[in-house]
Every structure is written in structure tokens, then in C-alpha cells.
């Protein structure tokens, strides 16, 4: 019997808890505790050298029912998953799949332009690609000259 040791990473554990709380609280309840949406899809986000990718699991949702909007540095994905089976409630043995509308909002990196965002939808997964904005290059100011001179440098990463 092989034993696998996992190093405890408190940041990973905190990130997992944050994701689950975010899914629960992101629009699930209004201030008065009334439930406003029936489901919140899972979300993965990762970063490459050039972009950040957000992947939303939206099984059973057709592409024309999905809305992707960008407003003031926030990306909002909303959709509706409709129950198509006509079965009376008293005939169900389990009701675990969620249906209805949802809206999920995530922050975008500072300086991202609307033209830097693309989306694709394949096999029930919506992927939103956000191209990273260029970082401002540091500038060197010459001391003691009458005319201002600017020398551009390269950003070290």
C-alpha cells in the first residue's frame, strides 16, 4: 500500500474556502435572505504568460442563453438553464441538478481593454480569455539637464 504525502498549504486551503464561499454568496441571497437564483456554476481561473482564462461549467445551457458583459473592470457571466423534462415533483426520487438563472461576476486585471477579451463555448464549458495589459515601462529621468530627456527601460519579470 503506497502512501502519498501532501504538504499542507494554508494559502491553497484558504483559496478553496474562498471559492466555495464565493459560489455560495455570489448573488445567492438578497439582503432579506430570499433565494434569488437556483444555481451558481463552478469557475476555474488560471494565468498564462499572456492571458488570464476563466472557465465556467455550464452543462445543459445553449450558447444563445449565455451573456458575457464587461463593465468598469468587472466581468459578468449570466445565463439560464431550463428544465426540459416534464415530470411532476411527487414522481422524483432525487432533485440534485439546479435550474434557473444565475449571474457570476469576477474582477478583471487593472487596465484591461474590452478588445482584449474573447469567449468560446465548447462541450458545456464557457472559456473567457483576457489578454493581460502591457505593464508601464519604467522611465529614467536625466538629472541636471535643461531639456527633459526620457530613457525607456525594460520591465524585469
Residue 111 sits in a domain whose CATH number is 2.60.40.790
Structural domain for 137, as ranges = 10-152
pLDDT at residue 144 tops 80: no
Q: What is the pLDDT of residue 30?
A: 40
In a domain? residue 21: yes
In a domain? residue 1: no
In a domain? residue 102: yes
- What confidence tens digit (pLDDT) does each residue in 58-106 have? 988 999 999 999 998 899 999 988 877 776 666 777 767 777 888 899 9
Range with the poorest average pLDDT among 2-6, 49-53, 121-125: 2-6
Q: What is the pLDDT of residue 33?
A: 44
In a domain? residue 63: yes
CA distances (Å), origin 12, targets 28, 42, 105, 128: 24, 17, 22, 23
In a domain? residue 127: yes
Are 66 and 58 spatial neighbours (Cβ–Cβ below 8 Å)?
yes
In a domain? residue 67: yes
Helical residues (DSSP H) of the chain, grouped into ranges: 10-25
Q: What is the pLDDT of residue 34?
A: 41
CA distances (Å), origin 143, targets 116, 132, 147, 154: 38, 33, 10, 20
The total number of structural domains in the chain stands at 1
Residues 25-32, mean pLDDT to the nearest whole number:
47
pLDDT at residue 16 tops 70: no
Q: What is the pLDDT of residue 1?
A: 57
Beta strands in 23-152 (DSSP E): 43-47, 51-57, 67-71, 74-81, 100-107, 117-122, 125-131, 139-141, 150-152
Q: Is 83 helix (H, G, I), strand (E, B) or coil?
A: coil
Q: Is 19 helix (H, G, I), strand (E, B) or coil?
A: helix
In a domain? residue 125: yes
Range with the poorest average pLDDT among 29-38, 62-71, 123-132: 29-38
pLDDT at residue 124 tops 90: yes
Amino acid at each position: 500500500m503506497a502512501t502519498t504525502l501532501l504538504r499542507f498549504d494554508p494559502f491553497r486551503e484558504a483559496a478553496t474556502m474562498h471559492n466555495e464561499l464565493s459560489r455560495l454568496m455570489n448573488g445567492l441571497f438578497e439582503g432579506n435572505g430570499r433565494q434569488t437564483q437556483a444555481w451558481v456554476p463552478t469557475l476555474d481561473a488560471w494565468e498564462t504568460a499572456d492571458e488570464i482564462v476563466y472557465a465556467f461549467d455550464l452543462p445543459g445551457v445553449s450558447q444563445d442563453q449565455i451573456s458575457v458583459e464587461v463593465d468598469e473592470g468587472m466581468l459578468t457571466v449570466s445565463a439560464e438553464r431550463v428544465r426540459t423534462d416534464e415530470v411532476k415533483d411527487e414522481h422524483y426520487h432525487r432533485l440534485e441538478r439546479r435550474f434557473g438563472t444565475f449571474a457570476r461576476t469576477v474582477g478583471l486585471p487593472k487596465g484591461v481593454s474590452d478588445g482584449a477579451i474573447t469567449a468560446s463555448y465548447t462541450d458545456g464549458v464557457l472559456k473567457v480569455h483576457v489578454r493581460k495589459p502591457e505593464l508601464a515601462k519604467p522611465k529614467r529621468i536625466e538629472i541636471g539637464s535643461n531639456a527633459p530627456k526620457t530613457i525607456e527601460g525594460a520591465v524585469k519579470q
